[in-house]
Amino acid sequence: MLLSLKYNFLFVHIAKTGGTSVRDSLRPLRLRDPWYPVQFLCSRLSALSGHRLGIKFPRHSKIIAAKEMLPAETFDTLFKFVFVRNPWDLQVSSFHHIRRERPHLMSHIETFDQFMRWKLDPERPYQFHVDTSIELQSDYVIDLHGKVLVDFMGRYENLAADFDEACRRIGVKPPALLHKRQATDRKKDYRSYYTDELAEMVARHFEPDIRIFGYRFDPE
């Protein structure tokens, strides 16, 4: 999550949706914010306390955290935006990320099919810190009543153009969009990883994301 009081925006960062690129590209704006030194100090104090002080938004905070912690008049006037990603594509990204970054967790898994069945097994507790993409993306943008709280939902599939639109709404000239963490070890088309059965399993688990964001397995 990235908050700028000077530029009046709140960016909700969902993992593996291009958010690192967006954060790094907008960071210079944050450095110009008069409140940045205070935010930086709070961040350091939070880290030194083991994040027990409750004075910092974690990188992947849900928007409900900002709504609860910020004054209502501040939260309501912020331009709030997020980037989301096709759930079927996101799971392919998750597979390659864990295989690359945490191979010890994949010692018993060889294929994407095995990975998803292991991941979605209701009998096996899944650890959030291992892979945030088990969570619904929609949970990051709704309140406790299911109301969408963001003003703009950009798409990973249209990252550059939607980033420019977000900057336009913030009221700044779009900086160069930095590209981070691009995987090179996957097939280009996520659909090639799926059987019909596996695609349906993902559709059931991530149904709220598909409904709220309007994604389909086969893009139009």
Residue 218, in any domain of the structure: no
> pTM for the whole thing?
0.86
Strand partners, 2: 11
Strand partners, 4: 9
Residue 51, in any domain of the structure: yes
Is the pLDDT confidence value at 122 over 80?
Answer: no
CATH of residue 208 = 3.40.50
* Per-residue model confidence as pLDDT tens digits over 28-39: 887 787 777 777
The values of phi and psi at residue 140, to 5°, are -80, -15
Residue 71, in any domain of the structure: yes
Look at residue 154 and give its three-state secondary structure: strand
Domain span at residue 128? 2-213
Residue 186, in any domain of the structure: yes
Is the pLDDT confidence value at 52 over 70?
Answer: no
Q: CA–CA separation, 104 vs 184, rounded Å? A: 20
Q: Please tell me the total count of domains within the chain.
A: 1
Q: CA–CA separation, 118 vs 113, rounded Å? A: 9
Q: CA–CA separation, 57 vs 137, rounded Å? A: 17
